[in-house]
Structures are given as structure tokens and as C-alpha cells.
Amino acid sequence: KQEVTQIPAALSVPEGENLVLNCSFTDSAIYNLQWFRQDPGKGLTSLLLIQSSQREQTSGRLNASLDKSSGRSTLYIAASQPGDSATYLCAVTRNTGNQFYFGTGTSLTVIP
């Protein structure tokens, strides 16, 4: 069974800092990896999707990388803002069946 781990569980940074969130998975046979954001009491918003053949994806201040062989992905947030405060989740899709597994999330607080 695929296990997805996110470290750290919580992170607090001052506004303007660049930061990195980590996601690791035990089975490298993934189809793709997706990063989501979840605000308190809300649903999940997709941020970036990386197919297994890709190394990274960028959207605005966000950059996600994928290293399948080491079972790792990182989400880089540049020039953090208070509005970035949320829980960030990564999810990997299995090579077959397209079922996807979530990590436990990183709760990010950006202090003004």
C-alpha cells in the first residue's frame, strides 16, 4: 500500500520568506502527483499536477518538483503572503487504477 508522508506537519514563517514543503511516498510506481490547498472548513483546491514523466510544474509563486526514483516531491512557495496560510496536501495516483493517496498535510501559517 502506498504511504504518503508530509514534513513538517506545521510550519510558521514571517511574510516574504521563501519556503519548501516536502512530500515523500513509498511506492515510486506513481502515475502523477497533485498538490492541493485546503482552507479551514473548506474543500480542497488543486494547485499543481505533475505527471510522472515531468520533473516540475510552476504556477505563479508556486513551483512543484517530482523525483520519482527517490519518492519525493517538494512544493516551493516564493515570497510567502498571509493569504498563503492553509493546509497543503499532496496526493499520489497509483500506476494502475488511478486511485490516489493523500499525505497528512502541512499546516502553513504566514505571519504578517
Partner 1 sequence: DARVTQTPRHKVTEMGQEVTMRCQPILGHNTVFWYRQTMMQGLELLAYFRNRAPLDDSGMPKDRFSAEMPDATLATLKIQPSEPRDSAVYFCASGLVKGTNYGYTFGSGTRLTVV
> What is the phi/psi pair of residue 52, to 5°?
-60, -25
Q: Which residues between 3 and 32 bind partner 1 (CB under 8 A)?
A: 31-32
When asked if residue 58 is in the footprint of partner 1 (CB under 8 A), the reply is: no
* Burial class of residue 72, CB neighbours in 10 A (0-12, 13-18, 19+): middle
CA 36, 12, 65, 98: dihedral to nearest 10 degrees? -30
Q: Closer to partner 1 at the Cβ: 43 or 60? A: 43
Q: State how far the Cα of 100 lies from the Cα of 90, in Å rounded to an integer.
A: 10
Q: Closer to partner 1 at the Cβ: 34 or 80? A: 34
When asked if residue 76 is in the footprint of partner 1 (CB under 8 A), the reply is: no
When asked if residue 104 is in the footprint of partner 1 (CB under 8 A), the reply is: yes
Considering only 12, 51, 58, 59, the residue that binds partner 1 (CB under 8 A) is: 51
When asked if residue 105 is in the footprint of partner 1 (CB under 8 A), the reply is: yes
Nearest C-alpha neighbor of 87 from the set 65, 104, 68: 104
The least CB distance from residue 38 to partner 1, in Å, is: 9
